[in-house]
Amino acid sequence: MSDIREERTPGQGHGHGQDGVFSSEKSAPFVQTNFDEGDFNGHVEKDLNVTEDDLLEAKELASQLSLEEVREMMFNVHKIHEKDPNFPLAIIEKIEDFLANDDVFENPEKHETLIQEMKLEAALITGNSPYAEVRAVVDNHDDPTMPVSTIRAWTIGLVFSALLAFVNQLFSVRYPSITILANVAQLLAYPFGKLWEKTLPDVGFTLAGQRISLNPGPFNRKEHMLITIMANVAYNIPYTNYIIWTQWYVFFPILLLLLLVLLLLLLGLLPYTPPWWLSTSL
């Protein structure tokens, strides 16, 4: 592990000397073993902006972490989020104090409060999203029994995808053009999904040991997300759209072949594009 003291430029951050090196003098307030758990939980909730449920879950995970694991985690967290304006500054400063104070690792019994807080924060940051806005809308637990690739989701998704693609393509030659965004499909898909849930019967068939039903139960968020993804992909006008409008109509068969070739090339290159995922995405 490279020394974190070399990561920052002079004058940055909290607890630095004039030469840009972390100072361990700021760590003195953390050298205590007796603390009020209520106050401790309160300031951690305030610093990380977490709910009580998130904090209880983090405590369970933190109890399984060793000091070296926490050190490695917090070093990586500091490296990634050091200059992140959306990451709590108070946490960055405490991480710097934790990593810069060698006495924490040589005499851990003297720094129980700081170590416990770092364990808790490591569990919160690595077991959930470090951003409060993401934690508020994204559950970090998955329900594998919740149906996703259902007839309902694919039908509603394909209908909205076709409608958005047709309307946007049709009005692309209009000035000013009219574009219907995927947000429209996202908003309308929910009432249509609930209507499907209430009206259609639960009939289906079994394929490869899995039952495929016309109405598998309540319309859920995974189906809603699948429909939204399909609409997001379909509403955009392809780059080859303007080729047709800028050429003579007598060349339409050639242009159609050119359009198909370009689209096939695009589909062939898609698998080579690197996927980007949040570390806590499910």
8 A C-beta contact, residue 200 and residue 214: yes
Instruction: Name the stretches of the chain with pLDDT < 50.
Output: 1-33, 35, 278, 280-282
Question: Measuring CA to CA, how many Å separate 129 from each of 43, 108, 117, 277?
Answer: 19, 28, 17, 12
Q: Looking at residue 141, what is its pLDDT?
A: 79
Q: 58-70 as b/e, with b when 16 or more CB fall inside 10 Å?
A: bbebbeebeeeeb
Q: Looking at residue 247, what is its pLDDT?
A: 66
Beta carbons within 8 Å of 174's beta carbon, 6+ residues apart = none
Q: Looking at residue 25, what is its pLDDT?
A: 43
| Direct distance between the N- and C-terminal alpha carbons of the chain, in angstroms, rounded to an integer | 29
Task: Scan for tokens 């946490």, then name that residue.
Answer: 91
Give the closest residue to 79 by CA, choosing from 67, 62, 65, 96: 96
Which tokens hold the place of 244? Answer: 């047709």
Q: Looking at residue 7, what is its pLDDT?
A: 45
Q: Taking every pair of C-alpha atoms in the chain, what is the biggest distance, in angstroms?
A: 86
Which tokens hold the place of 235? Answer: 């509403």
Four-CA torsion 174, 179, 185, 188, nearest 10 degrees: -70
Q: Looking at residue 47, what is its pLDDT?
A: 65
Q: Looking at residue 16, what is its pLDDT?
A: 44
∠48-52-58 over CA atoms, to 5°?
Answer: 65
8 A C-beta contact, residue 74 and residue 65: no
